[in-house]
Amino acid sequence: MKKEGLHCDFASKTAPRNDRQNRSRLYKHKGAFKWKGIKPERYKPSGKDWSDIVRQTLIGSRGETARFHLRYFEIAPGGSSSFELHKHEHVVVGIRGKGVCVVGSRKLRLEFLDTLYIEPGMPHQLRNPYDEPFGFFCIVNARRDKPKILSQRD
Which parts of this chain interact with its own copies (CB under 8 A)? 1-4, 8, 10-11, 22-29, 33, 35, 58-59, 64-68, 70, 88-89, 91, 93-95, 100, 103-104, 106-120, 122, 137, 139, 141-143
Nearer to its own copies, 32 or 45 (CB): 32
Give the whole-angstrom CA distance, residue 71 versus residue 53: 12
Smallest separation, CB 5 to its own copies (Å)? 10
- What letter would DSSP give residue 9? B
Nearer to its own copies, 11 or 47 (CB): 11
Give the whole-angstrom CA distance, residue 152 versus residue 154: 7
Nearer to its own copies, 47 or 120 (CB): 120
The strand pair at 34-35 and 99-103 is best described as: unpaired
At residue 72, φ and ψ (nearest 5 deg) are -110, 125
Smallest separation, CB 46 to its own copies (Å)? 29
Smallest separation, CB 136 to its own copies (Å)? 12
At residue 137, φ and ψ (nearest 5 deg) are -80, 145
